[in-house]
Amino acid sequence: MENEKIEIKQASGRPMLTWVGKRPLRYVTVFPAQRIESFKPANDAEKRIGDLWNDWPSAYPKGGLLFHGDNKEVLAHLLANGFRSKVNLIYIDPPFNTGVDYIRKVTPRGMKIEKLEGDGYSFTEQIQYSNNWHIDAYLQFLYERLQLAREMLAEDGIIFIRMDVHFGYYLKMIADEIFGQDNFQNEIVVNRIKKNVTVKGRRTIPNAVDYLYVYFRSLQAEFKNVLRQLPETKPGYWHNMDSPAIPGPRRLTLGGKTYYPSPGAHLKFPQTQAEEMWNKGLIRENPKTGMLEYWVQDKDYVNLDSDWTDIPGYTFKTGYPTENAEKLLERVVQVGSKRGDLVMDFFVGSGTTAALAQRLGRRWIGCDINKGAIQTTSKRLQTIILEQIAAQKRSSRKGELLPGNEKPTPAQLSFAAYRVNDYDLQLQHDEAINLACAHVGITRTKADSFFNGTLGNSLAKIISFNHPLTLMDLDEVRRELEARPEETRDVTVVALGKETAVDAWLDDWNHLRKKGNLPNKINVIELRTDPKYGKFFEHKPAEARVKIHRTARKIIVDIQDFISPTVIERLQRQATIPVPAIDDWRAMVDSVMIDASYDGVVFEVAHSDVPEKKDTLVSGHYELDYPGTETVVAVKITDVLGEEVIVAQKA
Ligand SMILES: C[S@@+](CC[C@H](N)C(=O)[O-])C[C@H]1O[C@@H](n2cnc3c(N)ncnc32)[C@H](O)[C@@H]1O
């Protein structure tokens, strides 16, 4: 009997972290983007911003870009559309293992039913191993995004990744693998909010810090600024003038009085210098001891080190949970980029990174999967840009240039918001083909006049969406294949639906292929019904029942019911495990926003309820101050798939 051979894979030569389901990202599907909002308050915005934009992909307006979508898809979109190697600084603060279900699954709030495609766990095992399961999925989630992030970075780009204590050390290993250990620069400690002291009755030691892992894209990168400003509240201090080390005078006459050091000591300055300082108020008599002391001026700046706990790590200005402190992002942006650089945050949340990039004269791209985040960021950037325009007007009236460091010239005075991967649109035919290709994952081959592209190893043909797949369509495919005797690939036909006669034709065709060992089997994807790609166009809108009324001082909003047929349908479709019934409408709701004086066009968020953790539900009951005159109150409810329902009513 031959000896059994065990194959041992070659070690890669560096330590790597592994987890269940680890797989490098080999390719990603590119999705188109639709513009959903533009903000351009100054007509001459482009004229005022100067000449930073030569390398900007022409398909995009010159301004900030805000993307609503899964960052994996958004990054793929950006890479395919001219932004590869264009980003100078990336800052990300991914959810700490709370948003794992954002990867691809719909999960109602308050329920844990995620499952990795193709894994072997049963439902009970999943519950049993839910912690480990979470970690595996989370690590894969981070791994893929970091690989894409690296592609986005310019050769001299820098990335800052924020992590808490639970995942910091995993992240370090993954990032070492992706960016290279040589490119690791720092593990910076930043403040976090110290939470409660007891968990289930046990005392805990709260974690006081988070970590920023900093990597260069290559050693061509460098930090732009490594100084930090000292707090203005401590400009200097009085110091005793005794000087044991340096020989100096044993007496000084100042202001007509003679002063002596402590026994055995000298005084620090010679007579003439001391007189000068005395005249400037930099030497005085200590009012209590009667001894001389001199003023020590603190330096304004000192060199940064990796302890950044001198500034806050979080704040709560926008009301968005986990909002990072502006002071922190100000430092990150200044350390990691220069004016005009492109700064990106693809977990943008409340938009802190974009806000500081805008304030500090950088260009920016933001992305978030959460509609509430996009709305908060949009609102925040609108305010900043309006302030900047007002400041420019003021300074040009006075005939001054904008002041130097504190208020740099903005790199843009506008932004546009896009949505990636939204299927609920009325589509033009061409757009539909593009979108369907993106949806199914077809790689377009423009050179081929018949097939639209390839799907894996097969040729792909999209049938016009104004009719179902017919025998005539299949005949065309057959003729085309006959004209290409060399072609060995199979064919995937994508259609909205199909005529019944088609099935028999396909069975015959494929049967003959198989029997004769011939190539070119034909497979059909029906966009309306396919379990994987299905329900491409059909859409039943979500509905809400909301009670809005007013008392003498308050507007009271009660959401009584909400139903999203799409969410329910998706859940059933993705159910490889039993789906618990949704008996609380709030499980389907991602966020609630209220505009207390809605003008019917622009939604101004007066109140937002956006729980970040997936097991926290929105409240459903809100009280706002009554503005005093009759007003239209609008309630915008966004479901876990991002679909919005607006209910507006006079109050
Ligand atoms: C910790 S918060 C970021 C906070 C942000 N730095 C700030 O200052 O407000 C993480 C954000 O990542 C978003 N997120 C989670 N998964 C995502 C995904 N796959 N794509 C895009 N954004 C995602 C969440 O919606 C959340 O807003």
In angstroms, what is the span from residue 492 Cα to ligand 1's centroid? 37
- Report yes or no: 372 and 608 within 8 Å, Cβ to Cβ: yes
Which pLDDT does position 246 carry in this prediction?
65
Atom of ligand 1 nearest to the CA of 349: 27
Which pLDDT does position 572 carry in this prediction?
66
In angstroms, what is the span from residue 70 Cα to ligand 1's centroid? 10
Q: Are residues 274 and 404 in the same domain?
A: no
Which pLDDT does position 122 carry in this prediction?
26
More confident residue, 262 or 603: 262
Whether ligand 1 lies within 6 angstroms of the CB of 88 is answered as no
pLDDT at position 57 over 60: yes
Tell whether 23 is covered by a domain.
no
Q: Are residues 509 and 559 in the same domain?
A: no
Whether ligand 1 lies within 6 angstroms of the CB of 376 is answered as no
In angstroms, what is the span from residue 172 Cα to ligand 1's centroid? 20
Q: In the numeric block, which tokens belong to residue 218?
A: 């290559």
Helices (H) and strands (E) in the chain, counts: 13, 32
Q: Are residues 42 and 106 in the same domain?
A: yes
Q: Which of 1-5, 120-124, 645-649 has the lowest mean pLDDT?
A: 120-124
| Integer Cα distance of 391 and 403 in angstroms | 10
| Integer Cα distance of 218 and 156 in angstroms | 6
pLDDT, mean of residues 85-94:
97
| Integer Cα distance of 424 and 639 in angstroms | 14
In angstroms, what is the span from residue 140 Cα to ligand 1's centroid? 16
443 phi, psi to nearest 5 deg: -85, 120
Q: Are residues 79 and 209 in the same domain?
A: yes
Which pLDDT does position 110 carry in this prediction?
60
Last residue of a domain, one of 270, 297, 324: 297
Whether ligand 1 lies within 6 angstroms of the CB of 324 is answered as yes
- The tens digit of pLDDT for each residue in 512-568 reads 999 988 999 999 998 877 777 755 555 577 899 999 998 888 999 999 999 888 777
- The tens digit of pLDDT for each residue in 153-163 reads 999 999 999 99
pLDDT at position 100 over 50: no
Please state, rounded to an integer, the average pLDDT across all residues of the chain. Answer: 81
Q: Are residues 103 and 217 in the same domain?
A: yes
The DSSP call for residue 81 is: T
Q: Are residues 196 and 322 in the same domain?
A: yes
pLDDT band, very low/low/confident/very high, at 370 (cuts 50, 70, 90): confident
Which pLDDT does position 534 carry in this prediction?
59
| Integer Cα distance of 615 and 594 in angstroms | 22
In angstroms, what is the span from residue 367 Cα to ligand 1's centroid? 8
Question: Atom 15, ligand 1: which residue's CA is nearest?
Answer: 99
pLDDT at position 107 over 60: no
Q: Are residues 180 and 70 in the same domain?
A: yes
pLDDT at position 414 over 60: yes
Report the candidate in 255, 210, 197, 8 with the shortest Cα–Cα distance to residue 92: 210
- Report yes or no: 564 and 592 within 8 Å, Cβ to Cβ: no
Q: Quickly list H helices, 398-488.
A: 429-440, 471-482
Q: In the numeric block, which tokens belong to residue 209?
A: 């810090």
Whether ligand 1 lies within 6 angstroms of the CB of 566 is answered as no
Report the candidate in 179, 180, 97 with the shortest Cα–Cα distance to residue 136: 97
- What's the maximum distance between 2 C-alpha atoms anywhere in the chain? 117
Q: Are residues 151 and 190 in the same domain?
A: yes
pLDDT band, very low/low/confident/very high, at 450 (cuts 50, 70, 90): confident
Whether ligand 1 lies within 6 angstroms of the CB of 318 is answered as no
In angstroms, what is the span from residue 360 Cα to ligand 1's centroid? 22
| Integer Cα distance of 173 and 382 in angstroms | 38
Ligand 1 pocket check: which of 68, 92, 145, 348 to mutate, most ligand atoms within 8 Å of Cβ?
A: 348
Which pLDDT does position 497 carry in this prediction?
79
Which pLDDT does position 401 carry in this prediction?
37
Whether ligand 1 lies within 6 angstroms of the CB of 375 is answered as no
In angstroms, what is the span from residue 247 Cα to ligand 1's centroid? 61
| Integer Cα distance of 235 and 229 in angstroms | 11
pLDDT at position 424 over 50: no
| Integer Cα distance of 80 and 86 in angstroms | 12
Per-residue 3-state assignment (H helix, E strand, C coil) for 134-173: HHHHHHHHHHHHHHHHHHHEEEEEEEEEEECCCCHHHHHH
Query: Under 8 Å CB-to-CB from 107, ≥6 apart: which residues?
Result: 101, 113, 114, 614, 640
Per-residue 3-state assignment (H helix, E strand, C coil) for 578-617: CCCCCCCHHHHEEEEEEECCCCCCCCCCCEEECCCCCCCC
Dihedral of CA atoms 510, 513, 517, 519 in degrees, nearest 10, equals: -100
CATH number at residue 568: 2.60.40
pLDDT at position 343 over 60: yes
| Integer Cα distance of 475 and 447 in angstroms | 22
pLDDT band, very low/low/confident/very high, at 438 (cuts 50, 70, 90): confident
pLDDT, mean of residues 6-26:
72
Tell whether 538 is covered by a domain.
no
Report the candidate in 193, 189, 185, 195 with the shortest Cα–Cα distance to residue 211: 189
Provide the residue range defining the domain that includes 293.
236-297
Q: Are residues 142 and 219 in the same domain?
A: yes
Q: Interhelix angle for 71-80 vs 130-152, to 10°?
A: 20
Whether ligand 1 lies within 6 angstroms of the CB of 492 is answered as no
pLDDT band, very low/low/confident/very high, at 260 (cuts 50, 70, 90): very high
For the entire predicted model, the pTM comes to 0.59
| Integer Cα distance of 454 and 460 in angstroms | 5
Question: Atom 13, ligand 1: which residue's CA is nearest?
Answer: 347
- The tens digit of pLDDT for each residue in 210-233 reads 999 999 999 999 999 888 877 665
pLDDT at position 421 over 70: no
pLDDT at position 351 over 50: yes
Ligand 1 pocket check: which of 368, 380, 591 to mutate, most ligand atoms within 8 Å of Cβ?
A: 368
Tell whether 532 is covered by a domain.
no
Q: Is 470 left (phi over 0), alpha (psi -120 to 50) or beta?
A: beta
Whether ligand 1 lies within 6 angstroms of the CB of 322 is answered as yes
More confident residue, 630 or 183: 183
| Integer Cα distance of 383 and 26 in angstroms | 41
Q: Which of 241-245, 388-392, 469-473, 567-571 has the lowest mean pLDDT?
A: 567-571
Ligand 1 pocket check: which of 161, 191, 370 to mutate, most ligand atoms within 8 Å of Cβ?
A: 370
Exposure string (b/e) for 537-546, b if CB count within 10 Å is 16 or more?
beeeebebeb
| Other C-beta atoms lying within 10 Å of the C-beta of residue 230 | 15
Report the candidate in 82, 105, 626 with the shortest Cα–Cα distance to residue 369: 105
pLDDT, mean of residues 292-319:
85
pLDDT at position 63 over 80: yes
More confident residue, 385 or 450: 385
Q: Which of 202-206, 419-423, 522-526 has the lowest mean pLDDT?
A: 419-423
Strand (E) or helix (H) holding 238: strand 236-240
The amino acid present at 248, given as its one-letter code, is G
In angstroms, what is the span from residue 26 Cα to ligand 1's centroid? 24
Half-sphere exposure of 124 (CA within 13 A, CB side): 0
pLDDT band, very low/low/confident/very high, at 302 (cuts 50, 70, 90): confident
Whether ligand 1 lies within 6 angstroms of the CB of 352 is answered as yes
In angstroms, what is the span from residue 99 Cα to ligand 1's centroid? 8
pLDDT at position 502 over 50: yes
| Integer Cα distance of 563 and 560 in angstroms | 10
pLDDT at position 118 over 50: no
Q: Are residues 470 and 506 in the same domain?
A: yes
Atom of ligand 1 nearest to the CA of 345: 6
- Report yes or no: 631 and 556 within 8 Å, Cβ to Cβ: no
Last residue of a domain, one of 420, 450, 479: 420
481 phi, psi to nearest 5 deg: -70, -35
In angstroms, what is the span from residue 311 Cα to ligand 1's centroid? 22
Tell whether 204 is covered by a domain.
yes
- The tens digit of pLDDT for each residue in 569-583 reads 766 655 555 556 677
- Report yes or no: 567 and 586 within 8 Å, Cβ to Cβ: no
Whether ligand 1 lies within 6 angstroms of the CB of 210 is answered as no
Which pLDDT does position 186 carry in this prediction?
98
More confident residue, 490 or 568: 490
In angstroms, what is the span from residue 323 Cα to ligand 1's centroid? 10
In angstroms, what is the span from residue 56 Cα to ligand 1's centroid? 25
Question: Atom 19, ligand 1: which residue's CA is nearest?
Answer: 70
| Integer Cα distance of 376 and 351 in angstroms | 7
The amino acid present at 490, given as its one-letter code, is D
Which pLDDT does position 154 carry in this prediction?
97
Q: Are residues 63 and 193 in the same domain?
A: yes
What are the CA-CA distances from residue 569 to residues 145, 413, 539 (Å)?
28, 42, 10
The DSSP call for residue 633 is: E
In angstroms, what is the span from residue 342 Cα to ligand 1's centroid? 19
Report the candidate in 180, 173, 213, 220 with the shortest Cα–Cα distance to residue 90: 213
Which pLDDT does position 89 carry in this prediction?
98
| Other C-beta atoms lying within 10 Å of the C-beta of residue 600 | 9
Strand (E) or helix (H) holding 572: helix 565-573
Percent of the chain at pLDDT > 70 equals 78
More confident residue, 134 or 542: 542
Q: Which of 37-46, 93-102, 365-374, 487-496 has the lowest mean pLDDT?
A: 93-102
Question: Atom 5, ligand 1: which residue's CA is nearest?
Answer: 349
* Pairing verdict, β 522-526 and 491-495: parallel
Q: Are residues 321 and 464 in the same domain?
A: no
CATH number at residue 116: 3.40.50.150
Q: Which of 128-142, 304-318, 573-587 has the lowest mean pLDDT?
A: 128-142
How many domains does the chain divide into? Answer: 4
Whether ligand 1 lies within 6 angstroms of the CB of 101 is answered as no
In angstroms, what is the span from residue 288 Cα to ligand 1's centroid? 56
Last residue of a domain, one of 480, 498, 526: 526
Query: Under 8 Å CB-to-CB from 569, ≥6 apart: which residues?
Result: 535
Tell whether 123 is covered by a domain.
yes
Whether ligand 1 lies within 6 angstroms of the CB of 313 is answered as no
| Integer Cα distance of 422 and 643 in angstroms | 10
Question: Atom 4, ligand 1: which residue's CA is nearest?
Answer: 349
CA 163 to chain centre: 14
Which pLDDT does position 7 carry in this prediction?
60
Q: Interhelix angle for 352-359 vs 326-336, to 10°?
A: 60
Q: Which of 102-116, 177-191, 288-302, 462-476 has the lowest mean pLDDT?
A: 102-116
Q: In the numeric block, which tokens belong to residue 637?
A: 């409810």
Tell whether 494 is covered by a domain.
yes
* Pairing verdict, β 621-625 and 554-563: antiparallel
Strand partners, 546: 559
pLDDT band, very low/low/confident/very high, at 396 (cuts 50, 70, 90): low
- Report yes or no: 297 and 236 within 8 Å, Cβ to Cβ: yes
Atom of ligand 1 nearest to the CA of 329: 8
In angstroms, what is the span from residue 608 Cα to ligand 1's centroid? 16
pLDDT at position 615 over 80: no
In angstroms, what is the span from residue 175 Cα to ligand 1's centroid? 19
Q: Which of 219-223, 262-266, 421-425, 481-485 has the lowest mean pLDDT?
A: 421-425
| Integer Cα distance of 440 and 438 in angstroms | 6
Which pLDDT does position 498 carry in this prediction?
84
pLDDT at position 199 over 80: no
